[in-house]
Amino acid sequence: MMGATTILTSILLASSIIFTGVNSEGLDIESVEQELQPLASKLATITGYSENEVLYQVFGELNFVLVEQANYGLTCWAWLKCYGNPDDLTDPLAHGLLIHELGHRFINGLHLGFKDLHMNNGYYDEWGNYIHVTGLDANGNYLRTNLGYPHGGRPYEQHGVLSDDYHTYGEDFADTFMNWALDQCTDDEAGRIRCGWMDTFVKEHVKHKPNFMPEKGAMKRYDYTNIARPE
């Protein structure tokens, strides 16, 4: 009889060596850290927390788990469960996916309805036409655009135009949050409005370190935001 072999398969969460409270299972922890770095850096500047602890302060513990491995892309959900090919995390087209999910976490944690978000953004072009960037259309339905991004689709829209829920403020918020964190908005009116709105929103709603004084003027509402859509 062959010696009994005990295979101990213990699934351990690998912990980030950089960020407090960030763990992963089934995804390469270093890739996870790399993906989160730009967001940590941005939030640290805004909140006064160090880069190492700011994600934990803002989001609490974050466990990114690959639930099911497959050969198709990589899909993740706001509860940080992912499905698909873990190697896709380093695919340039998936760049920002984890930050997109944290965008969902951020807005979910605030328990704000759409009305409280004031996410109707647009501007008037040189001919006086209203250009809709984010928010409700004339019929009161949520209408997304890819204005303010270099182009539509990945990596700027992780929730693709063909997917269900594309035209929801939750997905628009998550993609805008991601592009804001990665400084990927275009240097034009639409890009400035989109990322400027998010910058103001995060600064107003993120938890700041006690006694931390934000940069002077940092809390100022962005000049272009919330131009009411004409009725």
Cβ closest to Zn ion, residue 49 vs residue 106: 106
Q: β-strands 62-69, 14-15: how paired?
A: unpaired
Residue keyed to tokens 């539509």? 152
189 close to 221: Cβ distance less than 8 angstroms: no
Cis peptide before 210 (omega within 30 of 0): no
Tell me how far, at minimum, the Cβ of 170 lies from Zn ion, in Å. 7
**Within a 10 A sphere around the Cβ of 126, how many other Cβ atoms?**
6
Shortest approach of Zn ion to residue 81 CB, angstroms? 13
Q: CA–CA separation, 216 vs 231, rounded Å?
A: 36
Locate 81 and state its tokens: 């469960």
Give the position of tokens 């695919």: 91
Residue 159 binds Zn ion (CB under 5 A): yes
- Residue 68 amino acid letter: E
In the complex with Zn ion, which residue's Cβ is closer, 164 or 183?
164
| Count of chain residues binding Zn ion (CB under 5 A) | 3
Among 27, 32, 174, 198, binds Zn ion (CB under 5 A): 174
Report if residue 144 touches Zn ion, rule: CB under 5 A. Answer: no
- Residues in contact with Zn ion, shown as a per-residue x/- string from 192 to 231 under the rule CB under 5 A: ----------------------------------------
Interacting span for Zn ion (CB under 5 A) from 45-53, 142-150, 157-165, 176-184: 157-165
Q: Does 105 bind Zn ion (CB under 5 A)?
A: no
Residues that bind Zn ion (CB under 5 A): 159, 171, 174
